[in-house]
Amino acid sequence: MSLIAAEKILKDYQAGEITVRALKGLSFEIEAASFVSFVGPSGSGKTTLLNLIGCLDKPTSGKLTVVDTDVLHLDRKQSASFRGKNIGFIFQDFNLIPVLTVYENIEYPLLMVQSVPSDERKKRVTTLLEAVGMTDQKDKYPDQISGGQKQRVAVARALVTNPKLVLADEPTANLDHKTAYMVIELMKKMRDEFKTTFIFSTHDQRIVGEAETIFTLEDGELKGKEVKGGKVNG
């Protein structure tokens, strides 16, 4: 069974008196442990789609199942709980908590979202710190590390709860090419290691090729699906 199944998803926004249709009946499926990218120009609906998959927003109509859950009918609390258990987030601007150290930022979801016991927390955070190569920087605050390092911390934070799915909205937009490539490689390595599904959106052609499955969005519509080794038109 697919990890994510979307069926005729519509998403409308109200801009004053005008209704803007951001997504126009998308249907797709994403398998577990895959490395997926949604590509397309600005305004094509990438972020909107990621927000729907991440239970941060709800479709206007259609059916969306994420990790065997019909996310349309979750209320605020249930959504938060679902996200905390199943989804990790990596943001374009890293969004680390400035008053917490690198270690504490990674530990945060275990402490505040999942209430994991201390020993287990320490084990998981230490493992991820090593995996993303940030052990030496663990006591530094976000304003004391570089953009690439911040995103590595964000990757570790997203993975620390062992989520089934990690969503990354333009994770490399604020990074130079070399660092961007390193972050994508790190995400891929993490996917291999933890069998987590990674979905990222980008319009950066330099890193699009790193994805194994590429969905192309244009003007709220799915224009194509490319699987490494073959192309399926949407």
Candidate list 3, 57, 207, 213; residue touching other proteins; CB under 8 A: 57
Q: Which stretch binds other proteins (CB under 8 A): 9-17, 26-34, 49-57, 218-226?
A: 49-57
56 binds other proteins (CB under 8 A): yes
Give Cα separations from 229 to 61, 125, 209, 212 (angstroms): 33, 36, 12, 9
Candidate list 98, 117, 229, 230; residue touching other proteins; CB under 8 A: 98
11 binds other proteins (CB under 8 A): no
Number of residues that bind other proteins (CB under 8 A): 30
194 binds other proteins (CB under 8 A): no
Give Cα separations from 61 to 23, 105, 181, 213, 223 (angstroms): 10, 36, 36, 25, 20
DSSP assignment of 95-150: ---TTS-HHHHHHHIIIIIS---HHHHHHHHHHHHHHTT-GGGTTS-GGGS-HHHH
Residue 20 or 227 with smaller CB distance to other proteins: 20
Report which residue type is found at 150. K
Cα four-point dihedral sign 8, 81, 83, 175: positive
Candidate list 97, 118, 146, 206; residue touching other proteins; CB under 8 A: 97
Candidate list 12, 43, 108, 181; residue touching other proteins; CB under 8 A: 108
Which residues lie near other proteins (CB under 8 A)?
A: 51, 54, 56-57, 76-77, 80-85, 87-89, 91, 93, 95, 97-100, 108-109, 111-113, 157-158, 161
